[in-house]
């Protein structure tokens, strides 16, 4: 497994966040146009947990800080 540099990890998180926002907006619009049941909230919740975990381990307190400066 290739170890990514911090800048590559941040880029990966940014891409994940942008795709998340764009996809959730599209799904919410589709769900609002089709009406009840409002299933898109489950997608938002599930993917949101994954995005939060990605943030936590890349930029948040769970990120491994480099020993070198």
DSSP string, 19-47: HHHHHHHHHHHHHHHH-SS-THHHHHHHH
Position 66 scores a pLDDT of: 58
Confidence band of 6 (pLDDT split at 50, 70, 90):
confident
Confidence band of 2 (pLDDT split at 50, 70, 90):
confident
Residue partners of 59: CB distance under 8 A and separation at least 6: 10, 13
pLDDT tens digits, 20-65: 999 999 999 999 999 999 999 999 999 999 999 999 999 898 887 7
Position 23 scores a pLDDT of: 97
């Amino acid at each position: 497994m290739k170890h990514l540099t911090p800048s590559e990890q941040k880029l990966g998180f940014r891409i994940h966040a942008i795709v998340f926002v764009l996809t959730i907006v599209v799904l919410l619009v589709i769900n609002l146009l089709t009406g009840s049941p409002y299933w898109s909230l489950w997608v938002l919740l599930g993917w949101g947990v994954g995005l939060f975990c990605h943030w936590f381990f890349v930029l948040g307190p769970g990120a491994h800080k480099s020993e070198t400066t």
